[in-house]
Structure 1
């Protein structure tokens, strides 16, 4: 007999398969790799909608359209602004921009087919709000707290707005914190492994000229604080709690952070 987890895995596979089927375009595929989607976002969106007892067709269209929006935002984020030095680079950049526009148009197409105008508005507003947050971060001029707030918005505002739209406001804070936790881990990796500074690392600096090991420590303290917060939430639904907390442990292990905390806590 199939378990609920078997059904979940099959549903997720179907949604992801449909995503890659929908985005297929022979010209783009010739020059660009398929985008990578965030498995956690797919799972959490699925849980959110399943909790509301929607049928699978509705869940699939809603998750698919949200992931298409996220993919479009991610793709546009990769477009370089440095001067191009060859026609090949120029074409690659143009195609990247067009692919992001293409993915964005597809979410509208998916929802228009089922006449879900209210959800189209939610996703459209989310795109606008995320782009405004990105402008604040990259233009600078805001204080540290506002920068951190904008970074949180960039990473989680889409799924937060979806949660609120479906009257699951109690999910908003845990979802925001979880995706902030993920960006903290990725930022730590890029800083320690590649010495690559981001707006997040810059916002965590307390003064100019801070040493490398001090910034690494600041990131790890921020990760630990986020982990503690994720454990402190009173989750409205046990499966969502179990998923998020298990992923926290997995991600800490993947990024090699667990031992650091064990030593510190001991």
Structure 2
């Protein structure tokens, strides 16, 4: 197994997700649903590592991917102008994807996964709503929110099928990748609403500015991930794949 093998399977999963939610009008105005390849990798990680895998689990990760796409579409809605055709269709696309993943799960009879994903959507939405609340959260609270937003659906899939050995690696890695992306956007002047809230919550420590703090936090998280990988029993080529995608 090499990087090409991994990428080919990620690409196939992406195509299968697109196939389940394909709609001509939505494709014309909003394009394919947003799917994160790093998240897709972690959905497939048990398969890559040789754990028991079957059609039920593969259908499960397709559903998880559609859930993530649905929530990502809703996140694209312009909070200041949601009246254009494109914005209205973005809302509809998120709702359409939501309906599709419940339809898939209902047809499969996988009640346990329905319950887990429903709970994950509620929890993730609660954390996404935080950016609109007047309450002040500490910066560590925002890091917790990012972790929930990025990982909760996959975490529920892991817990349901007893893939807990991958949980901490997945959570820390996806948090790192999201923070690295937020940092790049910050440097380019394209801060997200969530990052703006983090900046507002930031209290300077040890004479560090916000960017320096974030870089220091990333170094700590990367060290934690490297240690988890060192002691993990996952295949060496998977450890290498994960490590090579860290931006230092």
Class of the TM-score when normalised by the shorter of the 2 chains: 0.7 to 0.9
Partner Cα separation in structure 2 for residue 34 and residue 28 of structure 1 = 8
> TM-score with structure 1 length normalisation?
0.80
Partner Cα separation in structure 1 for residue 214 and residue 73 of structure 2 = 26
Aligned to 2:37: 39
Call closer, same or farther: CA 1:137–1:243 in 2, change over 3 Å.
Answer: farther
Aligned with residue 203 of structure 2, among 203, 206, 212: 206
Aligned with residue 64 of structure 2, among 63, 66, 82: 66
Shift, 1:47, TM fit: 2.0
Aligned to 1:238: 234
CA contact (8 A) 2:10 2:41 kept: yes
Call closer, same or farther: CA 1:6–1:58 in 2, change over 3 Å.
Answer: farther
Aligned with residue 25 of structure 1, among 18, 23, 28: 23
Q: Does residue 149 of the first structure (1) align with residue 148 of the second (2)? A: no
CA contact (8 A) 2:2 2:237 kept: no
3-state DSSP of counterpart to 1:119: helix
Shift, 1:237, TM fit: 3.3
3-state DSSP of counterpart to 2:127: helix
Gaps of 5+ in 1: 253-257, 259-266
Aligned with residue 216 of structure 1, among 204, 207, 211: 211
Q: Deviations over 1:30-83 (max 9, x none)?
A: 21211231112112211225643122x223211110000000111101101214
CA contact (8 A) 1:130 1:157 kept: yes
- Aligned counterparts, 1:112-261, within 5 A: 112-139=106-133, 140-194=135-189, 196=191, 198-200=193-195, 202-203=197-198, 205-207=202-204, 214-233=209-228, 236-239=232-235, 242-243=237-238, 246-252=241-247, 258=248
Deviation larger for 161-170 or 242-251:
242-251
Shift, 1:6, TM fit: 7.3
Whose RCO is larger (CA < 8 A, sep 6+)?
2
Gaps of 5+ in 2: none
> TM-score with structure 2 length normalisation?
0.85
Q: Deviations over 1:167-219 (max 9, x none)?
A: 22232221110110011101110111225264346436215xxx9x8222112
